[in-house]
Amino acid sequence: MPKGGPDGGDGGRGGHVVFKATSSLNTLTHFRFQPLLRAEKGQAGMGSNKHGADGEDLLIEVPLGTIVRDFDTGEVVVDLSGEGLEVIIAQGGRGGLGNEYFKSSTNRAPRRTTKGKDGEERLLELELKLLADVGLIGMPNAGKSTLISRISESKPKIADYPFTTLQPNLGVVSLGDYSSCVVADIPGLIPGASEGKGLGLEFLRHVERCELLLHLIDASLPPERGLSDFDAVTHELSAFSPQLAKKHRLAVLTKMDVTESRTHLLKLREGLAARGMEVHAISAVSGLGLDELLGILSQMLKQTRELEHDVVPITQTRNS
């Protein structure tokens, strides 16, 4: 200000781009339509020593279990595996300093200002690996969605044709004694899923983090078919990843309310036992075996949870 001394305020900080993990989202599809995420600019500093306002942070919700990687190096930036976890994915720029800042006893009329610092710009790749304790796997039509709808609040579409489920569904299942677990229903697997056939491949990685897999087999089909379906899914698991094949897996015979299922039961049990599987029979329609199944889940998860400790690598959490 002529004859009035320096009065240029500092510029505001640019907004950060922040990711927040939430269990209420199950897919990353919203990023497909909105791939460029830009937080608000900081305002320029103004006369009368007014600082520019900071830009608003851009808070983007991502599904719990999203892994953020640097697109070029493939390095994991953050694994958003904690509900509500907020992480700054790109730092906002710093506002420049106005001439007021440079005022001193020896320099009463500084003409100096500094430019701000550009905000961070990053190319990132997001991969979703849902966080569920228990994964439901099996051929299309095995009854996965029907089961999750019976034991949780999740209400997926259920129908008498393959590939009814197109996106994974998560459901919280109460296990009594104040504990609960998250169950994931994924689209059906077919032979060749590990090479990309059907829908399975894209979703197999969701069960990579599960403690336990329930492998559903439609008992109303002829037992030979049930067993060959079982083998086909087993094969896809190991072809996808050896770790996945090594996961604790329980065979669950479904649709036991159907008359044919009862006549198939013995053969299926024998065949699965010969494959080293523990077998459990249920009907999601009549409710047969469901309480026992949840009891088994509760026991198994208790064991694994006692061994496990939660370690989440975090780069920088917001407000820290």
Ligand X SMILES: Nc1nc2c(ncn2[C@@H]2O[C@H](COP(=O)(O)OP(=O)(O)OP(=O)(O)O)[C@@H](O)[C@H]2O)c(=O)[nH]1
* DSSP per residue, the chain: -TTT---PPPPPPPPPEEEEEETT----HHHHH-----PPPPPPPBTTTBPPPPPPPEEEEEETTEEEEETTT--EEEEE-STT-EEEEEPPPBPPPPGGGG--SS-SS-------BPPP---EEEEE----SEEEEESTTSSHHHHHHHHSS------SSTT---S-EEEEEE-STT-EEEEEE-----TTGGGT-TTHHHHHGGGGG-SEEEEEEETTS-HHHHHHHHHHHHHHHHHH-HHHHHSEEEEEEE-TTSHHHHHHHHHHHHHHHHTT--EEE--TTT-TTHHHHHHHHHHHHHHHHHH-------S-BTT-
With 0-12 / 13-18 / 19 or more C-beta atoms within 10 angstroms meaning exposed / middle / buried, residue 45 is buried
Yes or no: say if 6 and 100 are a contact pair by the CB < 8 Å rule.
yes
Q: Which is nearer to ligand X, 18 or 142 (CB)?
A: 142
Binding of residue 145 to Mg ion (CB under 5 A):
yes
**In the complex, minimum distance from the CB of residue 257 to ligand X, in angstroms, rounded to a whole number:** 5
Q: Which is nearer to Mg ion, 165 or 220 (CB)?
A: 165
Piece of 56-64, 117-125, 145-153, 242-250 that binds Mg ion (CB under 5 A): 145-153
Q: Which is nearer to Mg ion, 12 or 138 (CB)?
A: 138
Closest CA to 279 of 256, 257, 301, 260: 256
Q: Which is nearer to ligand X, 11 or 140 (CB)?
A: 140
Q: Which is nearer to ligand X, 67 or 294 (CB)?
A: 294
**In the complex, minimum distance from the CB of residue 124 to ligand X, in angstroms, rounded to a whole number:** 31
Closest CA to 208 of 61, 81, 101, 88: 81
Q: Which is nearer to ligand X, 162 or 222 (CB)?
A: 162
Judged by beta carbon distances under 5 to 8 A according to partner kind, the member of Mg ion, ligand X, none in contact with residue 142 is ligand X
Piece of 38-46, 141-149, 246-254, 292-300 that binds Mg ion (CB under 5 A): 141-149
Binding of residue 164 to Mg ion (CB under 5 A):
yes
Judged by beta carbon distances under 5 to 8 A according to partner kind, the member of ligand X, Mg ion, none in contact with residue 162 is ligand X
Binding site for ligand X (CB under 6 A): 138, 140-146, 158-160, 162-165, 187-188, 254-255, 257-258, 283-285
Binding residues for Mg ion, rule CB under 5 A, total: 3
Q: Which is nearer to ligand X, 95 or 143 (CB)?
A: 143
**In the complex, minimum distance from the CB of residue 141 to Mg ion, in angstroms, rounded to a whole number:** 8
Binding of residue 99 to Mg ion (CB under 5 A):
no
**In the complex, minimum distance from the CB of residue 144 to ligand X, in angstroms, rounded to a whole number:** 4
Near Mg ion by CB under 5 A: residue from 26, 81, 165, 254: 165
Q: Which is nearer to ligand X, 102 or 163 (CB)?
A: 163
**In the complex, minimum distance from the CB of residue 158 to ligand X, in angstroms, rounded to a whole number:** 4
Judged by beta carbon distances under 5 to 8 A according to partner kind, the member of Mg ion, ligand X, none in contact with residue 163 is ligand X
Chain residue whose CB lies nearest ligand X: 188
What residues line the site for Mg ion (CB under 5 A)? 145, 164-165
